[in-house]
Amino acid sequence: MTLRVGIVGAGAAGIGAADALRDADADVTIVEKSRGVCGRAATRRKNGCRYEHGANYIKDPDERTEALIRDLGEDGLVDVEEPVWVFDADGEVAEGDDDGAHKWTWTAGITQLGKRLLARTDATVRRTTRVESVTRDESAATWTLTDADGGTHGPFDRLLLTPPAPQTAALLRATDWDDGRLDDVVAAVEDVSYRTIRTFVLHYPFRESYPWYGLVNVDKAHEVGWLSREECKDGHVPDGESLLIAQMSPEWSTARYDDPLDEAGDDAAALVAALLDDDRYADPDWVDDQGWRYALPNGGVDADALAAVEDAGLFFAGDWLVGEGRVHRALWNGHDAGERIAGSE
């Protein structure tokens, strides 16, 4: 019997699960609230530039990740060669302890990860569809999703929830399922906290040479948490131009999350100029931004509480299960969930 699988979220975890199910006897449907895929592994285009404003690259700390990236096709594959350096609360920049791991993206952008993975599956992706509630039919042992427009999706024999923990908890609270274990699951998911990040994209009609690709604040005491140069990625920035990605600290981002772009952008650019000791960076010729309210999980989750409901066909995946906001962690956590779903037939 073909297993009907519903996945909420087309981020790295949801796509990883779909990829794991591609050789199984499964009919997979992914329901995604946005127009794009791959979540924070996102790419934008503006004024001739292409840039990653969420996850900056895909790290490959193991052979499994590198093998997957190369298996997706090396056409357009970019490996950022310049290292990541560090800076402290006083803005003192120093060489970092580069571990030599690859920093992967593509000339067409990091969203190629999701697009290429989905292209090798038969999964159906329903974009711009926000799921608001979940219903369990015990007699049929199935799950049905209801979206914000009142449309329904399903029924599904297995359901995988991959949104950030607060959004997953909200879905669980809106779940019609009379099972005492649900309270324990909600409590476990709600226990995961997040750091908020507001990203600014700063463009300049000049380019300076630096020995680093990115700078990371190691003592977590600077208003800028991360700064990187998109011109280090082939095909992203025209010659002679520079595009900086400034991800502000969680404290600064939380306090300035809803501030107008012109005000917050000016302040962020001034901080970048001070960090680089160059007043020209205080005056970008255009600015873009993106807020990530649930950017980075502070810790993992009680895995036993979540595993307890897998016998009812309810599964979970995401970087918040492992407590590390990395693309490869979300991807493989989703892949592992997909394998468990395939094995639950």
| 99 pLDDT more than 90 | no
The domain segmentation of the chain, as residue ranges, is 3-38+115-193+298-342, 57-107+195-297
Q: According to the model, what pLDDT value does residue 98 have?
A: 73
Q: How many CB atoms lie within 10 A of CB 336?
A: 17
The yes-or-no answer to whether 3-38+115-193+298-342 and 57-107+195-297 have a common fold is no
**What pLDDT was estimated at residue 181?**
93
* pLDDT digit string, tens, across residues 81-94: 999 999 999 999 99
Q: In sequence order, what are the residues at sequence separation of 6 or more whose Cβ sits closer than 8 angstroms to the Cβ of residue 206? A: 240, 241, 242, 280
Residue 79 has pLDDT above 80, yes or no: yes
Q: What is the largest CA-CA distance in the chain?
A: 67
In this structure, the dihedral spanned by the alpha carbons of residues 89, 95, 97 and 102, taken in order and rounded to 10 degrees, is: 110
Percent of the chain scoring above 70 in pLDDT: 100
How does DSSP assign 105-121, residue by residue? EETT-TTHHHHHHHHTS
Report pLDDT digits (tens) over 34-70. Answer: 998 988 999 999 999 999 999 999 987 788 999 999 9
Structure tokens at 154: 């399903």
User: What's the confidence (pLDDT) of residue 234?
Assistant: 96
Rounded-to-integer distance, Cα 39 and Cα 31, Å: 13
Average pLDDT, the chain: 95
- Report the relative pairing of strands 314-316 and 158-161 from DSSP bridges: parallel
Q: What is the pTM of this model?
A: 0.95
pLDDT at residue 100, as a whole number: 76
The CATH T-level fold of domain 3-38+115-193+298-342 is: FAD/NAD(P)-binding domain (3.50.50)
The region of weakest confidence among 1-5, 36-40, 214-218, 261-265 is 36-40
**Alpha-carbon distances of 49 from 74, 202, 241, 266, rounded to whole Å:** 22, 11, 9, 20
Percent of the chain beyond pLDDT 90? Answer: 92
Number of other residues whose CB lies within 10 A of the CB of residue 97: 9
What average pLDDT score do residues 108-123 get? Answer: 96
CA distance 32 to 22: 19
Q: Tell which CATH classification among 3.40.718.10, 3.40.50.620, 3.90.660.10, 3.40.50.1100 matches the domain 57-107+195-297.
A: 3.90.660.10
